[in-house]
Amino acid sequence: MAQVLEFKLPDLGEGLTEAEIVRWLVEVGDVVAIDQPVVEVETAKAMVEVPCPYGGVVTARFGEEGSELPVGAPLLTVAVGATDASSAAPGEDGDAAEEPSGGSGSGSGNVLVGYGTGAPAARRRRIRPERNTASAAPAAPAAPAVVSAPSRPAPVAVAVGEVNGRQGPVAVVSPLVRRLARQHEIDLRGLTGSGPDGLILRADVDSAIRQAGQATEAATRTAAEPAVAEASTAVASPSAAGAAVPAAAERIPLRGVRGAVADKLSRSRSEIPDATCWVDADATELMAARAAMNAASGPSGGPKVSVLALLARICTAALARYPELNSTVDTAAREIVRLPGVHLGFAAQTERGLVVPVVRDAHARNAESIGAEIARLTELARTGKLSPAQLTGGTFTLNNYGVFGVDGSTPIINHPEAAMLGVGRIMPKPWVHQGELAVRQVVQLSLTFDHRVCDGGTAGGFLRYVADCVEQPAVLLRTL
């Protein structure tokens, strides 16, 4: 007899607690194989295709494209082949979990946090009903997280007491859901969750917030004068702190990459006492050196080298001289932690928003190697295929905002790093060269640094060295 197994959103790593459904890769009724990708989700750090650990027929999907699900919420249900469930003794010690269909050795080949190859299916304690015996009667005695999905046209709100037959803690997995409820003064114990086993999802809290807002608005309209009643419809919900918002205003949720960027930048501004210094540099010689490199042929030739790759190599040389800027602050221990290697992040603008891929061990690479890695990571960023590991662990960031046609900026440090170098556009400008006025290729460089890790003298020395290398690339020969 076929069993219907529920596949829940696994922990995708990096401490992520939720993901947004971008695109379903299967439909209800499709036959899926073990480890076949079934849905594409977007976390705060990357786009991920999630493979299903079961093989069978998809019987239900939970969540529409564009909706968010917390880790542990059901994604879909799959009817797997015949099992030996009927042979399970109903009097066993309440453990109702079995291997997913396919027998031993048919486990998933992909490993995600929460499930993976070779491990038995998560065992689930079956609570013997004590009070709600009528609702438990149709249940099979040995069904591992089995859900009869067709009988659930939507995730049905089920009280916690009806699921486990006893009162217990609030059924909330996601810290985001708890924080959202706390911000809007929603009592979670008064909600019935629409998730599995009465799990309270973000959608449940959002619904409670809307209901509270509607009740408040209705009470306001009832108490107001008729002349004021029409205007009261434009008043924002309680979450807007009473600010007047036009009724036609568009609200865009801060989630996914945009939400992660907002959280990180806000944290940087609130925690890091940053300062910025800048300098104009004559990049004419650097541009000439790059042209000579790219024009070389034969044994001295090679892949084209970008300006960003040359600037990245200059940064690694400068950090070797000023290691204070390749550090982080341990606020709990009140210590500055100087890092042994340079993992260089670079800002990349994509259709999904700003991301910062990281070139690992940049201090051990030459300009050609750094350029090749930047090109590879940039392509992954454009296609949304960067993994969380490729977006974390940076120790210093290079921000080339000159690609937007601007000259200068005061960048926000990429927390928990200690500094970021900003590069404006390189353009012809009047410049005094060798005592005469000439038209030169000029660039503005800016350094934003954490004032806790160093003083202005160190930051100024770093920036001056970078400018010297831009103006006279031969300076780098000392460190080659």
Q: Give the pairing type, strands 36-42 and 47-52.
A: antiparallel
Considering the candidates 363, 415, 433, 451, report the single residue annotated as catalytic: 451
Phi and psi for 115 in degrees, rounded to 5?
-160, 165
**In contact, 252 and 435? CB cutoff 8 Å:** no
Q: Is residue 99 classed exposed, middle or buried when 0-12, 13-18 and 19+ CB atoms within 10 A define those classes?
A: middle
∠ CA(7), CA(12), CA(16), 5° rounding? Answer: 115
Confirm if 85 and 140 have CB atoms less than 8 A apart: yes
Cβ atoms < 10 Å from Cβ of 267 = 12
User: What is the rounded distance in angstroms from the CA atom of residue 132 to the CA atom of residue 247?
Assistant: 46
Residues whose CB falls within 8 Å of the CB of residue 350, separated by 6 or more in sequence, listed in order? 381, 382, 384
Cα 351 off chain centre by: 15
- Answer yes or no: are the C-beta atoms of 4 and 147 closer than 8 Å: yes
Helix (H, G, I), strand (E, B) or coil at 472: coil
User: Does residue 451 have an active-site annotation?
Assistant: yes
Residues catalogued as catalytic: 451
